[in-house]
A and B are shown apart, each in its own frame.
Chain A
Amino acid sequence: MNEFIIETRHLTKQYGTQKSVADLNIHVRKGRIYGLLGRNGAGKTTTMKMLLSLADPTEGEVFLWGRPLHGNEKKLLPRIGSMIESPGFYPNLTGTENLRIFAALRGVPNTHAVQDALELVGLPYKDKKLFSQYSLGMKQRLAIALVVMHDPELLILDEPINGLDPIGIAEVRAFLRELCDRKGKTILLSSHILSEIALLSDDIGIIDQGVLLEEESFSELEKKSKRHIHFIVSNTAQAARILESRFHETHFTVQDDHSILLYNLDLSVGKIVAAYVADGLEVSEAHTCEETLEDYFKRVTGGEGIA
């Protein structure tokens, strides 16, 4: 059996000459919360649309539960609960009426499904308020109720905490965590808010300009981001060659002509400095640095934009 609930292979979406998503390979494991982190316009929503067959990929393929999505939509999509962009409901109907329509269309057998879903998100069942009169937070709650109403195995949520107040955010976070931990649901969520992803996700994919820059478990990323050794040398190209040839180390970043960051702290700084000096390099600085997770993401994505 395939270990991934979601797997994309070389997923690409091109609009004209602009690649919105490029060669994306993401892997979402069963019973985990996968956070897709990226700036606005990074390609998160387009990726999710392709996962739900709302947009056709230009290239590549989506596999859900190990089966290709293309051609199996009728079997696979009912197993998913999704919320893409803003919550979409009929404005002239109440929340209950809206959910009843979708329950009927989905053929939900549980007659209490609508009531249960509304109670779960803290919305009243017998309410005459129309959807158009809902606040943004209420709309978001109703959208989450729709997502869970048919008890799906996989939840795909695009920016699920948008418009929620701090208490609402904490409630949704706890709710999603519980769905994952107690009911074994798999959740893919996207956000541009680092703290949200950090608080909720087991695995993280960092996407920027349509390209997946990193895909790691959160604990691995934390390890990676915490510390590194910063060398200031006379020639970084030569320093990089030494790290590769003598220490068989590729886990470093050349920042500029004189600055190089090494992420493997198991290596001996003394030995590296000695190797540099032996090869005629001037080493003016070598020190261990602490980096926050935010600094790490900024560095990976190459700039600002993630709160």
Chain B
Amino acid sequence: MSMGAAFLFPIPILFLAIRQAQPFYMLFRMVFIFGEILFLPCVLGILSSMIFLPETENNVLKNLLTIPVSKAKIFLSKCITLMILSIIYCLLELSISIAASCFVGGGMPLTSFLCFSILSGIFMFAASLPIIIFVAAFGENFTISNIVSFIYSVACFSLVYLCLGQGGEALLKSRAAVLPVVTVFKWYLGYFPLESRLEKYLPYLISNAGIMTYMLSFSLILLSLGAVIYQKKEV
């Protein structure tokens, strides 16, 4: 059901794109902003609670740990599952957008979009790691975990929204620019051709190699930290 959210945004945005006669990449950009920046962290938070909490709630974790399976391995394997689900979510969004592409104009270099979807899935997973770790290490029940996931998601979207607003440049110059979701936004801006009104963001764009290095370092630190915290959690 959570993954079904991938289909949620492309449809209303399609109507908007048709109405404003926008090309495919503009439709896809909007799908990315709403579907991935706003929704994906929340979807990953909910999926985390679905993946991490039942084993604790149903006492299965104790049986697994006495096999023995290390908690770090359990944590990392679940995180890899979440990363795969994140990529699938992004590919689902791309597929529904492609299905919608027959209604809008503009060229569509499929390989480029495919690459973007896979990379954005990985990067948004990395950007959602704080909420995933929170749910894994401190989540006690579904309600609280899902509320915190929703708050985190809204906070991510608000940051990106502020970047696009009037004081956006100031925000991109500030320390907040190093936050993973802002970094993903800077990479996203540079991935597709920039319209003239967005050219002011050119100095802040980040290359593929740049974001990969950043996200790899960020993920390694957070995954190690998460594994240590999860290891210390008593069952």
Point out residues on A near B: beta carbons under 8 Å: 49, 52-55, 73-74, 77-78, 80, 82, 84-91, 102, 105-106, 146
Contact B60 A78 (CB under 8 A): no
**Distance between Cα atoms of A90 and B60 in the complex (Å):** 7
Chain A residues, Cβ within 8 Å of B65:
52-54
- Assuming A73-B68, A91-B58, what are 13 further A-B pairs, CB within 8 angstroms? A49-B234, A53-B68, A77-B67, A80-B66, A84-B62, A85-B59, A88-B59, A88-B62, A89-B60, A89-B63, A105-B64, A106-B67, A146-B63
The distance from the CB of B103 to the nearest CB of chain A, in whole angstroms, is: 40
Q: Which of B61, B63, B64, B69 has the most CB of A within 10 A?
A: B63
Q: Shortest distance in angstroms between A71's beta carbon and chain B's nearest beta carbon?
A: 12
- From the candidates B58, B61, B66, B69, name the one contacting A52 in the complex (CB within 8 A): B66
Contact (A88, B67) CB under 8 Å given A54-B234, A54-B235, A55-B234: no
In the docked arrangement, what's the CA distance between A102 and B58, Å? 15
In the bound complex, do residue A88 and residue B60 qualify as a contact, i.e. CB atoms below 8 Å apart? yes
Measured between alpha carbons, how far is A78 from B65 in the docked complex, in Å?
A: 10
Note all chain B residues with C-beta closer than 8 A to A146.
63
Q: Tell me which residues from 99 to 146 in chain B have a Cβ below 8 Å from any Cβ of chain A.
A: none
A–B pairs, 29, beta carbons within 8 Å: A52-B65, A52-B66, A53-B66, A54-B62, A54-B234, A54-B235, A55-B234, A73-B68, A74-B68, A78-B67, A78-B68, A82-B66, A84-B66, A88-B60, A88-B62, A88-B63, A89-B58, A89-B59, A89-B60, A89-B63, A90-B54, A90-B60, A91-B54, A91-B58, A102-B63, A105-B64, A105-B67, A106-B67, A146-B63
Measured between beta carbons, the chain B residues less than 8 angstroms from A49 are 234-235
Q: How large is the interface on B (under 10, 10 to 19, 20 to 34, 35 or more residues)?
A: 10 to 19
Which chain A residues border B61 with CB–CB below 8 Å?
A: 88
Chain A positions within 8 Å of B234 at CB level: 49, 54-55
Chain B stretch 16-62: residues in CB contact (< 8 A) with chain A: 54, 58-62
Contact with A along B210-235 (1 / 0, CB 8 A): 00000000000000000000000011
Which chain B residue shows the least CB distance to A105?
A: B67
Residues of B with Cβ closer than 8 Å to A? 54, 58-69, 234-235
Q: How distant is the Cα of A52 from the Cα of B60 in the complex, in angstroms? A: 15
Closest residue on chain B to residue A56 by CB atoms: B234
Which residues of B sit under 8 angstroms from A85, Cβ to Cβ?
Answer: 59, 62
Most A CB contacts (10 A, CB to CB) among B58, B68, B69 go to B68
Q: Which residue of A lies closest to B68 (CB)?
A: A77
- B66 contacts A54, C-beta separation under 8 Å: yes
Q: Once the chains are docked, how many angstroms separate the CA of A77 from the CA of B62?
A: 12
- A80 CA to B60 CA in the complex, in Å? 16
Evaluate contact between A77 and B60: CB separation under 8 angstroms: no
Hey, which chain B residues are within 8 Å of A84, CB to CB?
Answer: 59, 62, 66
